[in-house]
């Protein structure tokens, strides 16, 4: 891939907007709850120098801020259901209006339904852009169940992820990286996990079919190590993502 990082030491949000003149790059991450979308999206965002936009994180931030959108979303999130498309699309659209998203984004957890995927196409089309590839992290449902059941997340801003069996922290209950206490997400509790999988996997498979039909799906096996999955994704993007030079005058 030829697109380099700017290396000017500025944080993405501080970068002057005229650096966004090249075509924006939007990728969507597809995968069941617990497939590793968040972890991989963070790594890809760094590698591709675009923001990581997680619909789940946006909902959790809205909940914490006590906004009406947050309290509306909570009714669905607490029971492991999907938040209605209209609310979800509105929230993601607002985030994509932020200046840093003019460079593109790694969308993590969005779209989760075919209507959301179509709405995303319209949103990006208005920005003169489109989805470059849909990155599907393929993990069997039994493995998703196992992963979600023992998942613990740190309270630091990067929300490092641990697992009781496969990735325990060095000190029980404490993040190895930033020393914050680990917590279990409300929707990772056993009663909610089965609902999440039952409610969220069928529409996700429809999203996989949608992107297969449009020729944008890149599927990688998700049961390997974190590093191996990242390099499969980057390798696949490299092959899939060779694009013509940006069209002059195209909106960034
Ligand atoms: P996540 O952190 O991606 O697992 O998302 C946490 C919860 O937020 C999900 O279980 C859903 O209730 C809700 N959510 C996140 N993204 C979406 C989406 N694209 N559509 C509908 N609901 C979503």
Q: Is 46 contained in some domain?
A: yes
What is the predicted pLDDT for the residue at 130? 96
Report the number of distinct structural domains present in the chain: 1
Residue 34 CA to residue 31 CA, distance in Å, equals 8
Sheet (strand 151-154) strand order: 161-163, 151-154, 182-183
pLDDT tens track for 24-64: 999 999 999 999 999 999 999 999 999 999 999 999 999 99
201 pocket-lining for ligand 1 (C-beta < 6 Å): no
Q: Is 13 contained in some domain?
A: no
Atom of ligand 1 nearest to the CA of 187: 10
* Backbone CA torsion sign across 166, 171, 174, 175: negative
3 among known catalytic residues: no
Q: Is 130 contained in some domain?
A: yes
115 pocket-lining for ligand 1 (C-beta < 6 Å): no
Q: Is 73 contained in some domain?
A: yes
Q: Is 177 contained in some domain?
A: no
Question: By mean pLDDT, which of 51-65, 132-146, 176-190, 216-230 is the weakest?
Answer: 176-190
103 pocket-lining for ligand 1 (C-beta < 6 Å): no
Helices 85-96 & 55-65 angle (0-180, nearest 10)? 90
Candidates 43, 60, 103, 112; catalytic one: 112
56 pocket-lining for ligand 1 (C-beta < 6 Å): yes
Q: Is 175 contained in some domain?
A: no
pLDDT tens track for 83-96: 999 999 999 999 99
Q: What is the mean pLDDT of residues 89-110?
A: 96
100 pocket-lining for ligand 1 (C-beta < 6 Å): no
Would you say how long the chain is, in residues? 252
Q: Is 242 contained in some domain?
A: no
How far is the centre of ligand 1, averaged over its atoms, from the C-alpha of 163 (Å)?
20
Candidates 11, 118, 185, 251; catalytic one: 185
60 pocket-lining for ligand 1 (C-beta < 6 Å): no
Q: Is 1 contained in some domain?
A: no
3-state SS, the chain, equals: CCCCCCCCCCCHHHCCHHHHHCCCEEEEEECCCCCCHHHHHHHHHHHHCCCEEEHHHHHHHHHHHCCHHHHHHHHHHCCCCCCCHHHHHHHHHHHHCCHHHHHEEEEECCCCCHHHHHHHHHHHHHCCCCEEEEEEEECCHHHHHHHHHCEEEECCCCCCEEECCCECCCCCCECCCCCCEEECCHHHCHHHHHHHHHHHHHHHHHHHHHHHHCCCEEEEECCCCHHHHHHHHHHHHHHHCCCCCCCCCCCC
185 among known catalytic residues: yes
The rounded mean pLDDT for the chain is: 86
Residue the block writes with tokens 């290396």: 7
Atom of ligand 1 nearest to the CA of 54: 3
For residue 228, the domain's CATH number is: 3.40.50.300
Confidence of residue 188 (pLDDT cuts 50, 70, 90): confident
Two tokens, residue 212:
């297969």
Residue of 56, 71, 185 to test ligand 1 pocket, by largest number of atoms within 8 Å of CB: 56
Range of the domain at 103: 26-139+200-236
75 among known catalytic residues: no
112 pocket-lining for ligand 1 (C-beta < 6 Å): yes
pLDDT tens track for 224-237: 999 999 999 999 98
* Backbone CA torsion sign across 81, 87, 88, 91: negative
């Amino acid at each position: 891939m030829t697109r380099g990082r700017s290396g000017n030491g500025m944080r993405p949000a501080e970068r002057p907007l005229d650096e966004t003149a090249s075509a924006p790059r939007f990728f969507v991450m597809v995968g069941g709850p617990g497939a590793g979308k968040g972890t991989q999206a963070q790594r890809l965002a760094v590698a591709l120098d675009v923001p990581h936009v997680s619909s789940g994180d946006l909902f959790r931030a809205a909940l914490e801020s006590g906004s009406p959108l947050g309290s509306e979303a909570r009714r669905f999130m607490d029971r492991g259901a999907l938040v209605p498309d209209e609310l979800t699309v509105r929230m993601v659209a607002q985030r994509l209006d932020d200046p840093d998203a003019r460079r593109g984004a790694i969308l993590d957890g969005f779209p989760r339904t075919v209507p959301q995927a179509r709405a995303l196409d319209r949103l990006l089309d208005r920005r003169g852009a489109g989805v470059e590839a849909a990155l599907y992290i393929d993990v069997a449902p039994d493995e998703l169940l196992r992963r979600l059941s023992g998942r613990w997340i740190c309270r630091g801003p990067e929300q490092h992820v641990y697992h009781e069996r496969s990735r325990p922290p060095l000190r029980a209950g404490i993040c190895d990286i930033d020393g914050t206490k680990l917590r279990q997400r409300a929707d990772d509790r056993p009663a909610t996990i089965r609902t999440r999988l039952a409610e969220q996997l069928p529409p996700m498979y429809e999203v996989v079919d949608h992107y297969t039909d449009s020729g944008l799906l890149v599927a990688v096996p998700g049961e390997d190590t974190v590093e191996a999955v990242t390099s499969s994704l980057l390798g696949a993007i490299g092959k899939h993502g060779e694009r013509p030079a940006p069209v002059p005058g195209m909106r960034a």
